[in-house]
Each structure stands twice: as C-alpha cells, then as structure tokens.
Amino acid sequence: MLMQNVDACPKTTQTLSKKYLKLFRKKNMRVSIKLLASLVLVLVSSVANGDPVVPALIIFGDSVVDVGNNNNLNTLIKANFLPYGRDFVTHRPTGRFCNGKLATDFTAEFLGFTSYPPAYLSRDARGNALLTGANFASAASGLCDGTANLYRAIPLTQQLNYYKEYQTKVVNLVGKAKANGIISGAIHLLSAGSSDYIQNYYIDPLVRVYTPDQFSDILIRSYSTFIQYLEHLHENFMPVLNHV
C-alpha cells in the first residue's frame, strides 16, 4: 500500500468522514489511559537500566523539526549559516531552524537517547546510527504536497518513501526480526500544517479559491491518509491526538 499522492491536494474539497473522526477519537480515548500507564512503567524500567525508553525515534514534518535535510536540497529554504546553531552543542549551524536545540532534540534526551535522530539525507544517516531512528523532515514541507513543491522541499509522501527505504536499511543491518522490533517500538512524530497556510494558502491565489474551512478539510484528509499509511505498516501503531 502506497500513500496517496496529494501533490494536487487543493483540487478536491471532500470532507473527512465524520464517522472516521468519531471512531478515531473514540479509539484514541479508549487506549490513552492504558497507554499512559504503560509508558510510565516503561520509563521507570528504562531509567533504572540506563536504556532509552523506546528503541528509536522517527520524525516527519517541516522546519519545526528539520535537522538538516534541506542542506542537501536545491532550495532556498535552508538554515546552514549563522546565527543558526550558535547555541547548539557544536556552536555551528546544522540545518536546524533554531539557534539551539529543537523540541525533538529535547524529546530524544528525555527518552534516554545519547544522540539525536540524524537527517536522513545527511552523511550521518548510515550504519548503526540508523538503529535509533531517523529524521525525514524538510523545512517548507506540509501536509499538502503542493506546499513542499513550491519550495523544492521534501513532500510528506516522499518522506514516507524515504521511510520505507530506511526500514530496508535497518533490516539489512540487523535482520528482519530485530528490525521489526525496532521500528514497531519506535515513536513516530509528525509536525506539519503551519507551512500549508503561511507559505501556501495565504500567498498562492490559486489555492485561495477555497475557504479556510475547505482548505482545512483538505489538510485533514492528507493527515488521515498519513496516519492510515503508518497503521497499515505497523499493526500496533496507535497515534495519540490532542486536537483534530
């Protein structure tokens, strides 16, 4: 199953099924307490053993979580120059759109990792470094592939293609059984949506033919497809949502 290409996502205004959203929320609420309790137990056990809480951290999204993938693209949307990175561990620009650490860097530290998931297109994303995760995010990307294409960033569908490629690399490194344990036990994090408005909807007159609500419906459909794709790949995958 391949994720539906949403490069032309503004070409449809079909609203995400209310029934799906209702079931999605109900399913999420039903497991939230059990999930939280399980995470607390795992956290206590992992801290005691000095191991990360989860085997890997997988990141998708935009500039909020991009750690350098855009450095390797033919795009103007880059952060590989000062003052970016001046307060980072290395005191050098890394491609993060921040002077220091990103929220995902703090997340990795909190989970017990001693390194951060490498940008998948960087030279750091090779060998054993891939066993604790990877970062596929690209600044100027969004839930709608058309947003990324405006800036030659990595669309969300392509990020998922890289993710499939990543899984193959992990299998080749440690074998299928161990790779399945790493990938199925990993935390999958997505940060996207703001660029779709700021860098697409509000500046592209072709997209402004849709009302904000209609455009929101389009983005929700793209998000829903992304989640269903991950659910298809991972039997035990369970997204936890704050707002829909």
What's the pLDDT tens digit per position in 189-232?
999 999 999 999 999 888 889 999 999 999 999 999 998 888 88
Q: Which of 90, 211, 95, 100 is nearest to 154 (CA)?
A: 95
Instruction: Judge whether 120 lies within some domain.
Output: yes
Residue of 1, 3, 16 whose CA lies nearest to 216:
16
Q: What is the pLDDT, as a whole number, of residue 208?
A: 87
Consecutive 10-residue averages of pLDDT for the chain (244 residues): 46 44 50 49 54 94 97 96 95 96 95 96 97 97 95 96 96 96 92 93 90 93 90 64 42
Structural domain includes residue 80: yes
**Alpha-helical regions (H) of the chain:** 18-49, 103-110, 145-150, 156-174, 176-184, 194-196, 212-233
* Contact (CB, 8 A) for 155 and 162: no
pLDDT of residue 16: 42
22 belongs to a structural domain: no
Q: Residue 65 has what pLDDT?
A: 96
pLDDT of residue 24: 47
Cα separation, 173 vs 131, whole angstroms? 8
Q: What pLDDT is stored for residue 89 in this prediction?
A: 93
Residue 198 lies in a domain: yes
Treating both helix axes as pointing N-terminal to C-terminal, what angle do 176-184 and 156-174 enclose, rounded to 10 degrees?
A: 140
Domain of residue 94 covers 54-233
Q: H or E stretch including 68?
A: none
> Is 222 inside a domain boundary?
yes
User: Distance between CA atoms of 128 and 74, rounded to whole angstroms?
Assistant: 28
Does any domain span residue 2?
A: no
The pLDDT value given to residue 15: 41
**Nearest Cα to 233, choosing from 33, 58, 16, 18?**
58
Indicate if the alpha-carbon torsion angle 231, 237, 238, 239 is positive or negative. negative
What's the domain count of the chain? 1
221: in domain: yes
